[in-house]
């Protein structure tokens, strides 16, 4: 047998494929909904890549309230770094869409671009703040301030958590990381 090779498909997964067999139980409506969610996720991935590239190139967009424009322009204006991984351990890490830390003023800023319609939760950004503090060994009590922003649906949600809010998350990360490490050792 000479097997066919599909080079353009290698490393990819089909939407209606064998490795995700749950679609066998879908009706037409569920399939359509699932596919639309898939398309939205792919669009979001592309928009994040575009935003990151525009910010890295310092290419501003027309000033208006459109989510992408506002996010990109603010990130450029605040001199933010895009797609920055923050790590406590191999069990707990994440990638901030845009982040800036002013060492002189000790002010931490984290922004997140949300392209979906489901309302985002600020907890994700608070976790990034906790990971930043753990990763760079900077206690939140030594920061002059923290500003977290979610850009979604042509709106901006701004959160300025207190140091205590971040300390609670840091403690939980450390505690849960120990539990996971013990579980790994037992395996």
Give the model confidence (pLDDT) of 69-118 as tens digits. 999 999 999 999 999 999 999 999 999 999 999 999 999 999 999 998 88
- Phi then psi for 102, rounded to 5 degrees? -90, 110
pLDDT digits (tens, 9 = 90+) for 140-173: 999 999 999 999 999 999 999 999 999 999 999 9
Q: Are strands 107-113 and 145-152 parallel, antiparallel or unpaired?
A: parallel
Q: What is the DSSP letter of 118?
A: S
Position 71 scores a pLDDT of 98
Whether 71 contacts 157, CB under 8 Å:
no
Tokens of 166: 């971040």
Using the predicted structure, report yes or no on whether residue 16 has a pLDDT greater than 90. no
Residue 76 contacts residue 4 (beta carbons within 8 Å): no
Pick from 166, 159, 185, 89: nearest CA to 127: 166
Q: What is the number of other CB atoms lying within 10 angstroms of the CB of residue 159?
A: 16
Determine the average pLDDT of the residues in 35-46: 92
| Residue 134, CA atoms < 13 Å, CB-side half-sphere | 25
For residue 127, name the pLDDT band (cuts at 50, 70, 90).
Answer: very high
Q: Each residue of 42-66: pLDDT tens digit?
A: 999 999 999 999 999 999 999 999 9
């Amino acid at each position: 047998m000479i097997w066919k090779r599909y080079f353009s498909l290698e490393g990819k997964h089909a939407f209606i494929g064998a490795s995700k067999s749950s679609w066998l139980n879908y009706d037409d409506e569920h399939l359509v909904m699932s596919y639309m969610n898939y398309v939205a996720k792919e669009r979001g991935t592309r928009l994040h890549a575009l935003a990151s590239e525009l910010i890295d190139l310092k290419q501003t967009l027309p000033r208006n309230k459109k989510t992408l424009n506002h996010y990109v322009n603010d990130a450029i204006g605040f001199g933010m770094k895009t797609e920055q991984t923050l790590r406590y351990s191999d069990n707990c890490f994440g990638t901030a869409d845009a982040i800036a830390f002013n060492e002189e003023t000790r002010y931490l800023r984290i922004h997140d671009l949300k392209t979906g319609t489901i309302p985002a939760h600020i907890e994700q950004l608070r976790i990034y703040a906790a990971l930043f503090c753990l990763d760079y060994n900077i206690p939140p009590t030594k920061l002059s301030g923290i500003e977290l922003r979610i850009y979604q649906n042509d709106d901006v949600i701004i959160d300025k958590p207190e140091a205590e809010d971040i300390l609670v998350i840091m403690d939980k990360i450390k505690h849960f990381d120990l539990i996971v490490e013990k579980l790994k050792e037992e395996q």
